[in-house]
Amino acid sequence: MDPKMDEEDLDRKAVFKILLVLTIFVLMSIAFLWCLYRRNVLGILAVITVVVAVVIGFYVNIPVSVATTIANVNVESIAQNAATNIERFRGRDKTAFVVGYTGETGKELVKELAKTKIFSKVTLIGRRNVQLSKELLGQDFNVQRVIDFEKLEESADVFKGHDVGYSCLGASLDKVGREGFLRVDRDYVLKIAELSRKGGTTHFNLISSQGADKSKDHLYFYMKGVVEEEMKSVGFKRLSIYRPGLLMCDRNESRGYDMILQKLLTPFQLFSPGLVTTPTTTLAKAMVHVTVAPSKEPFELYDGKAIHKSTLTA
């Protein structure tokens, strides 16, 4: 795919499928209410069957592996041994940095790091200093550093001396446009990875997206897939990539159709967690559990199901 192609040319088929599914969902909801009103049990069951079939049919066309994506990674073991691993990791006097800590997932990750105290120091890197929430007050290991993301090379020293790095950067394509999306999700991420690797970071954690695939025509999924591939060549001793589903959270700002989708997909979170949705709290907890888990794998890929399973502590 030509990454310079206009947004309106990007995967119209995917947009059409989404609209088609939403239309069918609305029509089936109306039919369901009508059958409920008429007390037609068979009609209700038929409507439910159609809706489930349509949603599953749509989902299986999404290019994402639902199974555990690395054979040598036992996510159940990560979850079961989380408490022991956290205690062991604390004694290693490790340090970390977080970029994108003002976003929804970044905020939850910082809370989780403050709660577990697995690092002796955490550097929060952003465009500006922000007032930390009450959960983080008194956490003197949280240090904020302000940088210019357009001049990352000038801030190379900020990325030196950290054992672990977390990238929670992400821009909304419909909010910042094509150029803004590429600058944040590709250019910033890859440059930060390069600088942190040179600065001594051995384990890098990257939040990607369900459906990331460099063979896709849709710019969002295409670029996420490209970044994943390029990250593998940076040279980290350990690279952990997370592919969450639709992030479930209470956003401070409206972000396209996210809020509508969250309402529609809430049942999936209840009956099949990790299938198409991922709460930001779950993702943050999974990132901590993965960090402290022993691993000899240079590359680990966690999909929505694996993210969920890695948090199921006893």
Catalytic residue ranges = 220, 224
Backbone angles phi, psi at 123, to 5 degrees: -100, 120
Spatial CA neighbour of 284 closest among 74, 100, 70, 133: 100
Alpha-helical segments (H) within 91-149: 104-116
Record the tokens describing residue 276, joined without a space. 């198409």
Are 163 and 201 in contact, with CB atoms under 8 Å apart? Answer: yes
Decide: helix, strand or coil at residue 126. strand
Q: Which amino acid belongs to residue 216?
A: K
Calculate helix-pair angle for 219-232, 173-182, nearest 10 degrees. 40
DSSP letter at 136 equals: G
Spatial separation of the C-alpha atoms in residues 172 and 242, rounded to whole Å: 18
Spatial separation of the C-alpha atoms in residues 276 and 272, rounded to whole Å: 8
Q: Which residues neighbour 108 within 8 Å (Cβ) at sequence distance 6 or greater?
A: 249, 280, 281, 283, 284
Decide: helix, strand or coil at residue 224. helix
Backbone angles phi, psi at 297, to 5 degrees: -80, 130
Are 244 and 307 in contact, with CB atoms under 8 Å apart? Answer: yes
Record the tokens describing residue 176, joined without a space. 């910042």
How many alpha carbons fall within 13 Å on the CB side of residue 45? 3
Find the helix or strand (DSSP H, E) in which 15 lies.
helix 12-38
